[in-house]
Structure 1
Amino acid sequence: MLPEKYILFLDEVSKKIDPKRIITDPLKTLAYGTDASFYRLIPKIVIQVHTEKEVKEILKITGKLIIPVTFRAAGTSLSGQAITDSVLVVASHKWKNYLILDNGNKIKLQPGIVGSRANIYLAPYGKKIGPDPASINAAMIGGIASNNASGMCCGTSQNSYQTIADIRMVLYDGTVLDTSDKVSKEYFSKTHPEIIEGIYKIKNTILKDSVLYERIKRKFKIKNTTGYSINAFVDYEDPIDIIKHLMIGSEGTLAFISDITYHTVTDYKYKACSLLLYDTIERACETVPALRNSPVSAVELLDRDCIRSVENDVDAPEYFKTLPESVGVLLVDIQADSIEELREKEANIRVSIESIPVMQPYEFTTDPKEYNFNWKARKGLLASVGGLRKKGTTCLIEDVAFPVPRLAEACSDLKNLFKKYEYHDAVLFGHALEGNLHLVFSQDFSDSKEIQRYADLMDELADIVVDKFDGSLKAEHGTGRNMAPFVEKEWGEAAYKLMVEIKNIFDPHQLINPGVIINPNPEIHLENLKPLPEAHDLVDKCMECGFCEPSCVSEGLTLSPRQRIVVEREIARLKKTGENVERLNHFVKESAYNVDETCATDGLCLLACPVGIDTGIYVKALRHNHITPFENKTANYITRHFSKTTHLLQNGLYLTRLAQKILGNTTMYSFASGLRKISGNRIPQWNPSMPFPNKYNNMAPASQSDSLKVVYYPSCINRTMGISNKYQENEVPLTEKTVQILTRAGYTVIYPENMTSLCCGMPFSSKGFNDDSDKKSQELEKALLTASANGKYPILYDMSPCYYTSHSHFSNENLKIYDPIHFMLEFVMPKLEIKNPKDIATVFPICSVKKSGLMEDLVKLTRLCAQDVNLIQTNCCGFAGDRGFTHPELNKHGQRHLKEQIPAGCTEGYSTSRTCEIGMEEYSEINFKSIFYLIDEVTR
């Protein structure tokens, strides 16, 4: 039961915001309230805000009722700065607007835009935003700015603080200040003179204290996100400029950021990197000052444990395995506008460090494969500890910085510190140019002795960083709750008092993200520690970082992969402890829809996960565990009578199309929706894009000849479903079109025997029927082996998901199976002449194309057929096999931004999955079909 003032809050805020976006359900408040840190507070209320006006209303009501409020975007923060046990305001889904200014030299961004997406917008201008955190593919602009996140290349010169042009914010009382608007600034100065006076007072205090003044200047020469950005008082005169820069790194404790305008930086076209090996990590660190004065773009420091984490990678050089334990490695990156400039920079770098001997000669590589592997060795370090840690432990990432000249000494001290406290899995790496080191290690928070060990480690870490080196306890990950007890230790009493004053000026009632940065509790970093109970082998390694969320189609509709795991962990914990049966029953009941039914199981989360978790496989395991005897019996029957099943589906499509023709789309939709509602959503949802049945049955064995031969496996979906409702005259089913293309390319088509009974097994595995899936997969493998003469002939699949399923499950290495994209690009297009290229072609890369690494091939194939490629920018379409019929809301959510990506005048789109095309067609209102139709059109 909510406290009375929260009930009053709900009553008032529901009049201002759609109640559907006000969340109090225990399952979702837990799921939505989780961030990437190792702390947990469960919000009482979560609100998904869509507009600045809604934020203003919330702040007015929380201010009146004295209720704390915390703002959140992606929740990838690591130090506990995005959690609360009060009201959590999430600004992500409707905060995607951007505006490119001054020919790409500036960009205005709302807080819900993912960092890498901003760079996609800027790519045509040869620009990017300055901050480049490792989480840039998941972290959103609101968090990047609020934490002054930096990264590998931006250093201290291109972070948010240095590249901010303007900012728009909402203050504690609902007042809006837009620093780009003269009227707004004048109005703010008149209505909030106490803030302006407070800014002047702090600045004058700093100017009068020469010791403090010089200390501020010195401490911000290296990365520093401990406390507030009080360097703003040293760097700027105008109070609005000071306020603008104070917001950077304030971690949502001073105001809500509505949008931010960045000065962009150059995104260089040419890049090269090299690995420099030194006999000790101290020797490697000695090289850094010289590199800092050379034309490098990044220098990353790695120890032996870092190299060990990737030495067994197929692309790793053999010498990785022979490196001594003492080795220190520098990953040096250079960037330029031309190859000539790149080589000139390389020559300068070699001269600058030639006096310091390396273990072996080094070369700078521009080869994409080598370049990407070198950076993979650096970026994969989180997984090395996170993936290997003991179950139930947390992966921690501490983040400190030292004066660069003393980096070698600091590395030695940190390694000794880990030895002292027996953190044997700890790895040390970082951004060497800025003296910024990351310490990654696993920690058990389930035991009081282990918590004390961590407390002792942190205390001594603070002593080393502050007392010995006068460094930064937080360099780029934000203060949060993690370092709040140590802010005064690092900065001293005088600076800390000013930081407290800053908080009081902007948040006089202490209601905006309280407890973060400024916190009087000396043990707050040891409280509210997140439990990580064992739930399942497939997901126990999850670090709850949130990197998966931008890839998930159901995120925002129900739950993301991270949130699904959070819920399942809570279910596991409640089952183990037995402490709250009512809560457990509620979670089990609600998880059926939120965790299971609305998961597309597309596996795209795997591509983004640092520790390689495919939450889709986990959900399939849940489905397998929940199969009833009746469902199992039904699946067994379908497996044995698959040909009959597809025939029944064809007849069903025929009757459906007949009813549609008689009733019309509107009446048919109302009728079908009514039946679905009456059935309790058990009857699949009909939509106007349902195809005709496929009546093409001319699948005769190939005649014997000496021509090129290919085994063609038409998927059961394409054998069942024919042409679209939006078909053109003379259009034929894909199974017929494929044969036409192959024949024109000079191929003789071979079909496997008992075609109508074959299936890759995916329809069964996606629902958890593992045995039936394996049986169908084995049947298909055997049939294809026979048809291909034991692998003599290539095998073409006409749907990417079917290919991916077989590729993942087949065991016979003789079989040469091909995705439709790969086969057409490599074997068919060279044999056909492009006669009628299109001006532009719209293509959608489905999930299995992304997982197979065929995105680039898809673009290449499309470019052979069209002068320009419009690549739909989205993740999974949400149709997910048959989920588009059984849970159409998932498909609708996945396609919510589709129509806006269709160019004017475009009437056709292309893909490599029939069911995905049905969903794409419904929400794009154009005819989506196989890319084979595009190939046929331009070569016919």
Structure 2
Amino acid sequence: MTYRRVTKTDVDALREIVSADRVIYPATTHYDHDQFKQVRSLPDVAVQPQTNAEVAAILRYANEHLIPVTVRGNATGLMGANVPMAQGIDIDMIKMNKVLEYDPDNLTLTVQNGFRIRDINEYLADKPFTYIPAPAMKWATIGGNASTNAGGMRAVKYGTTREHIRGITVVMVDGTIQHFGGKTVKNSSGYDLRDLIVGSEGTLAVITELILRLVPRPPVNLDVLVPFVNVKKAISVVPKILQAGLVPAGLEFFSRETIKYWENYTQQPFMDHTGDGYLLVTFDGHDEAVVQRDLDKALQIAKDNGALAPIRMGDEAHRVAVWKTRNQLLTAIQQTTTAIDEIDVVVPISQIPRVLDKVAALQDSEQVRMPNFGHAGDGNLHIYMCKDDYSRAEFAGKVDRIIRQLYATARKLGGEMSGEHGIGFAREPYFEAYYGQDKVQLLQKIKSVFDPNHILNPYKVFPTVGPNRQANRSLDVNDIKPKQ
């Protein structure tokens, strides 16, 4: 059994399912990459459904004809999860972008897969509720966020995307439409298939609708930028803040080196030049006195542990400016190099400095620039590897060695391969070595129950046993370690 390539007959059949203007054949290069463009593969055809029924018909046809299917949102992913490595059909969800129901009585908002994070924020701007998860890429679709369980910058207090999805509507590979979860807060009714599919990167089913949890918008938001002599000193304060019973809404770290990239990118100075490491701390709530008290207590802890003079955001303009800086760090780094790759390991909070020590050592040994920043409050680091003047082959070798050693460090420290960007195609070769054959075999069984023909997003996340298995690039290793 092998995957089939799309033929003109298949295209004609797809044009019977959706209108001809929503079938792009042959597919254009718009569909062959994600944000990093490190992995490219062009689908045979792209289809833009608008309804659950259209998605169901597309999947039913693809499954019957063994045509692989990949789902795409706004392509803001970084690990190649949305890249159609087996060609076939690309389901472009961008036209499924409607609000289906706003339900303030149950604090939910139901939207289609292609609705963007920016759209959610704009829709709720004049309402008393907010959607909490705050990924930096506001043009990402909510369906894409759900597929990777993206965390964002408020996970330390509010949790990741998974905690804010009450229910989902999905289309199974045979075209049946299922609803998992709903508007209820509790559910102890058997296996939680909603949470299984959230984070599965499009390998089990196609998410078409999401019931999002809303919370009353905190009227008080206080932000402060806290400089330190270095990043490790800054991060050492984080456990002390949390141990004191304080729960910031956001707790980000970055270095002066990374800020310099932002200054060059925007051609404007950053608001502080006293430190080489920074914490960006946010407290929110509904009682200004309580929020201010908690912030002051956190600042006292920081001061007692070596913080330099903090910069309080005195008004909304300052708040917007400092968070805009944080959100633009990746873009600023990308502008400094010819290509970029990334690893987003997550470790226990207290172990972040040990990962940063390893990063520094690898920068020296591999002679690769590795700017980084991350979520100090939840242990998720974003570490970027810059190609600069290396050839493609040289860079690929260095990236492989760096990834192996960083994964070895993360695993030793009790961490995970990814905190929010997922595994996708780019990191699939390392999955079995990290988690072991037993876990992979269990995941393969789950995959086969949901997708017997393995047509959904082939060659992603973990080694599979479906058609064309030889195209999957998993490493035959027993451990994540440098090549000898």
Same-fold call, TM cutoff 0.5: yes
- The answer to whether 1:517 aligns with 2:467 is no
Q: Is the 8 A contact 2:4 2:68 kept in 1?
A: no
CA deviations on 1:645-681 (whole Å, 9 max, x unpaired) are xxxxxxxxxxxxxxxxxxxxxxxxxxxxxxxxxxxxx
Q: Is the 8 A contact 1:74 1:140 kept in 2?
A: yes
AA paired with 2:228?
Y
1:820-835 equivalences in 2 (<5 Å): none
AA paired with 1:127?
F
CA deviations on 1:192-244 (whole Å, 9 max, x unpaired) are xxxxxxxxxxxxxxxxxxxxxxxxxxxxxxxxxxxxxxxxxxx975335x111
AA paired with 2:162?
Y
1:472-483 equivalences in 2 (<5 Å): 472-483=416-427
AA paired with 2:94?
S
Aligned residue pair count: 458
Counterpart secondary structure, 2:253: strand
Quote how far apart the aligned CAs of 1:140 are: 0.8
Q: Is the 8 A contact 2:432 2:462 kept in 1?
A: no
CA deviations on 1:800-823 (whole Å, 9 max, x unpaired) are xxxxxxxxxxxxxxxxxxxxxxxx
1:625-704 equivalences in 2 (<5 Å): none
Q: Tell me: CA distance 1:36–1:156, structure 2 relative to 1, closer, same or farther (3 Å).
A: farther
Quote how far apart the aligned CAs of 1:172 are: 0.7
- The answer to whether 1:342 aligns with 2:294 is no
The residue aligned with 1:934 is: none
Q: Tell me: CA distance 1:451–1:156, structure 2 relative to 1, closer, same or farther (3 Å).
A: farther
Q: Is the 8 A contact 2:157 2:250 kept in 1?
A: no
Distance in 1, matches of 2:458 and 2:474, equals 14
- The answer to whether 1:6 aligns with 2:7 is yes
Q: Is the 8 A contact 2:4 2:65 kept in 1?
A: no
Quote how far apart the aligned CAs of 1:374 are: 2.4
Counterpart secondary structure, 1:75: coil
AA paired with 2:249?
S
Quote how far apart the aligned CAs of 1:125 are: 3.2
Q: Tell me: CA distance 1:419–1:100, structure 2 relative to 1, closer, same or farther (3 Å).
A: same
Quote how far apart the aligned CAs of 1:171 are: 0.3
- The answer to whether 1:388 aligns with 2:389 is no
Quote how far apart the aligned CAs of 1:479 are: 1.0
The residue aligned with 2:251 is: 299
Q: Is the 8 A contact 1:93 1:112 kept in 2?
A: yes
Q: Tell me: CA distance 1:289–1:523, structure 2 relative to 1, closer, same or farther (3 Å).
A: farther
The residue aligned with 2:447 is: 503
Distance in 1, matches of 2:287 and 2:317, equals 20
Distance in 1, matches of 2:236 and 2:57, equals 55
Q: Is the 8 A contact 2:373 2:383 kept in 1?
A: yes
Q: Is the 8 A contact 1:81 1:481 kept in 2?
A: yes
Quote how far apart the aligned CAs of 1:493 are: 3.0
Q: Is the 8 A contact 1:301 1:432 kept in 2?
A: yes
AA paired with 1:238?
S
- The answer to whether 1:451 aligns with 2:396 is yes
Counterpart secondary structure, 1:515: coil
AA paired with 1:348?
K
CA deviations on 1:496-553 (whole Å, 9 max, x unpaired) are 2222222111111100111111235798489xxxxxxxxxxxxxxxxxxxxxxxxxxx
Distance in 2, matches of 1:299 and 1:365, equals 15
Quote how far apart the aligned CAs of 1:373 are: 3.0
Distance in 2, matches of 1:403 and 1:300, equals 15
Q: Is the 8 A contact 2:432 2:463 kept in 1?
A: no
Q: Is the 8 A contact 1:71 1:91 kept in 2?
A: yes
The residue aligned with 1:401 is: 346
The residue aligned with 1:124 is: 126
1:135-146 equivalences in 2 (<5 Å): 135-136=137-138, 138-146=139-147
State which of 341, 355, 377 in structure 1 corresponds to 2:304.
355
Distance in 1, matches of 2:234 and 2:6, equals 58
State which of 350, 355, 371 in structure 2 corresponds to 1:427.
371
Q: Is the 8 A contact 2:235 2:352 kept in 1?
A: yes
The residue aligned with 1:729 is: none
Counterpart secondary structure, 1:125: coil
Distance in 2, matches of 1:480 and 1:7, equals 29
AA paired with 1:8?
T
State which of 303, 308, 312 in structure 1 corresponds to 2:260.
308
Q: Is the 8 A contact 2:96 2:115 kept in 1?
A: no
State which of 85, 88, 98 in structure 2 corresponds to 1:86.
88
Quote how far apart the aligned CAs of 1:441 are: 3.1
Distance in 1, matches of 2:126 and 2:321, equals 26
Quote how far apart the aligned CAs of 1:98 are: 2.8
Q: Is the 8 A contact 1:156 1:434 kept in 2?
A: no
Quote how far apart the aligned CAs of 1:438 are: 0.6
The residue aligned with 1:332 is: 281
Q: Is the 8 A contact 2:224 2:311 kept in 1?
A: yes
Q: Is the 8 A contact 1:276 1:331 kept in 2?
A: yes
Quote how far apart the aligned CAs of 1:395 are: 2.3
CA deviations on 1:697-736 (whole Å, 9 max, x unpaired) are xxxxxxxxxxxxxxxxxxxxxxxxxxxxxxxxxxxxxxxx
Q: Is the 8 A contact 1:346 1:364 kept in 2?
A: no
Distance in 1, matches of 2:391 and 2:28, equals 23
Q: Tell me: CA distance 1:295–1:463, structure 2 relative to 1, closer, same or farther (3 Å).
A: closer
Quote how far apart the aligned CAs of 1:353 are: 3.9
Quote how far apart the aligned CAs of 1:59 are: 1.2
1:765-914 equivalences in 2 (<5 Å): none
The residue aligned with 1:470 is: 414
Q: Tell me: CA distance 1:452–1:352, structure 2 relative to 1, closer, same or farther (3 Å).
A: same
CA deviations on 1:384-431 (whole Å, 9 max, x unpaired) are 321121xxx21223211111111222211122122221113x211100
Q: Tell me: CA distance 1:514–1:109, structure 2 relative to 1, closer, same or farther (3 Å).
A: same
The residue aligned with 1:56 is: 56
AA paired with 1:34?
H
CA deviations on 1:10-42 (whole Å, 9 max, x unpaired) are 2322322222222213xx422233321421010
The residue aligned with 2:467 is: none
The residue aligned with 1:370 is: 318
Q: Is the 8 A contact 1:132 1:150 kept in 2?
A: yes
- Bigger relative CO (Cα 8 Å, ≥ 6 apart): 2
Q: Is the 8 A contact 1:481 1:525 kept in 2?
A: no
Distance in 1, matches of 2:269 and 2:260, equals 13
Q: Tell me: CA distance 1:104–1:181, structure 2 relative to 1, closer, same or farther (3 Å).
A: closer
The residue aligned with 2:190 is: 239
CA deviations on 1:230-259 (whole Å, 9 max, x unpaired) are xxxxx975335x111111111111111120
Distance in 2, matches of 1:298 and 1:276, equals 13
Point out the structure with the larger strand share. Answer: 2
Q: Is the 8 A contact 1:276 1:362 kept in 2?
A: yes
Q: Tell me: CA distance 1:421–1:433, structure 2 relative to 1, closer, same or farther (3 Å).
A: same
Q: Is the 8 A contact 2:237 2:301 kept in 1?
A: no
The residue aligned with 1:42 is: 42
Distance in 2, matches of 1:289 and 1:17, equals 53
Q: Is the 8 A contact 2:347 2:379 kept in 1?
A: yes
AA paired with 1:423?
V
1:738-753 equivalences in 2 (<5 Å): none
- The answer to whether 1:257 aligns with 2:207 is yes
Q: Tell me: CA distance 1:450–1:522, structure 2 relative to 1, closer, same or farther (3 Å).
A: farther
Q: Tell me: CA distance 1:442–1:99, structure 2 relative to 1, closer, same or farther (3 Å).
A: same
Distance in 2, matches of 1:5 and 1:80, equals 21
Quote how far apart the aligned CAs of 1:354 are: 4.5
Distance in 2, matches of 1:247 and 1:59, equals 17
Q: Tell me: CA distance 1:380–1:525, structure 2 relative to 1, closer, same or farther (3 Å).
A: farther
Distance in 1, matches of 2:347 and 2:159, equals 19
Instruction: Tell me how large the CA RMSD over aligned residues is.
Output: 2.6
Counterpart secondary structure, 1:433: coil
Structure 1 unaligned residues grouped into runs of 5+: 183-234, 527-940
Point out the structure with the larger helix share. Answer: 1
AA paired with 1:274?
V
Distance in 1, matches of 2:125 and 2:44, equals 41
Which structure would you say has the larger Rg? 1
Q: Is the 8 A contact 2:76 2:140 kept in 1?
A: yes
Counterpart secondary structure, 1:178: strand
Distance in 1, matches of 2:99 and 2:313, equals 38
AA paired with 1:335?
D
The residue aligned with 1:436 is: 380
Q: Is the 8 A contact 1:36 1:78 kept in 2?
A: yes
AA paired with 1:72?
R
